[in-house]
Structure 1
């Protein structure tokens, strides 16, 4: 007896976007803030307009607000998904990894060693998020959310952005950046960049456990 073949599902245009949940829209808002901060950092380097620098810095806490609400909305509406988790991590890489590094570079932390440490910072952020994605289920122990973070969460880089914003407000960026510059071998190092190296190191720590409330 011949069997009737199963109908091939019709794929509609923009079907992926139609599948987004409300929490995913907030996640995209997070990513948009990060991209905007990168653009404003580049614009500041061309114009040296303090307003553009401060607007770039202000987008970091805005991204943090979106990041907080997307998780709460997902739990409220019970719309957790693998796509949403990956989307959240990709947005966080932009807003709390790449954008702070771009702002630091624009602030004058642009020596050779500075670039190495800023790349290290972003790499640590990417590694931290990847580790979280593969261990979240184990850390949650069957609950709706994880009980603690291994290493500091990447949104803590908002503190670094706050330091840069305060320095800019005080006129202490560029040639007048806090801590000055050291010449180490062929390249310059601005000591302020060491804060980014410390932040990155804390993010990838396996022994540091931060309770999640």
Structure 2
């Protein structure tokens, strides 16, 4: 009777050792998102516009990482379920939580604003979850999907650009662009409606965006 050979010992950081180059770029995306959240909080404490602009600048930086991780995965043919999940989790931070945090820091902190910002993030999470479970069907056997159902969550970079622009015009904080409306017990800043619109477009099933 042969003795079964012992299982190979697991090495330290074995999960990280299994990462592909594309996964490293995905983590760069996530790092930019976390940095954006930290800088948005730092701006609220210091009111230094430089920190606000740096927080906004990390959104396009995250977008660049997001573009390159997909291209590298296709170039090296290293697609994996882990990589897809990593990409979605990083996108939630960089293009969901970070823009919402920057919006709050910019002065969208009324009660209705907060509901819209939360709605925006929840729509982004739902959009990514739906994409993960439908990507195979949408690709129709090809290497990648042919179109997006609803706008991709990285389009929130446009919202960050709007916030950076209004900041450059001095229209954030108490002077937030569009003023404020008192509706019931809470305030609503019209600028926050852009987050509501963006979230709604992300979860649309009828809006189809060709994937280039």
Deviation >6 Å, runs of 4+: none
Structure 2 residue aligned with 1:129: 128
Q: Secondary structure at the match of 2:191?
A: helix
Q: How do 1:1-213 and structure 2 match up within 5 A? A: 2-213=1-212
Aligned-pair CA distance for 1:92: 0.1
1:175 shift after superposition: 1.1
SS at 1:183's partner residue? strand
Distance in 2 between the 1:96 and 1:174 partners?
22
2:88, 2:8 → 1: CA distance? 30
1:3 to partner: Cα distance? 4.6
Question: For the residues of structure 2 that align with 1:175 and 1:181, how far apart are their CA atoms?
Answer: 9
TM-score (norm 1): 0.98
In 2: Cα distance, 1:6 partner to 1:85 partner: 34
Equivalent position SS for 2:148: strand
Query: 1:102-146: per-residue Cα shift (whole Å, max 9, x none)?
Result: 000000000001000100000000000000000101111111110
CA RMSD of aligned residues (A): 0.7
The Cα shift of 1:5 comes to: 2.3
SS in 2 for 1:132: helix
Q: Give the unaligned 5+ runs of structure 1.
A: none
Shift of the alpha carbon at 1:7? 2.9
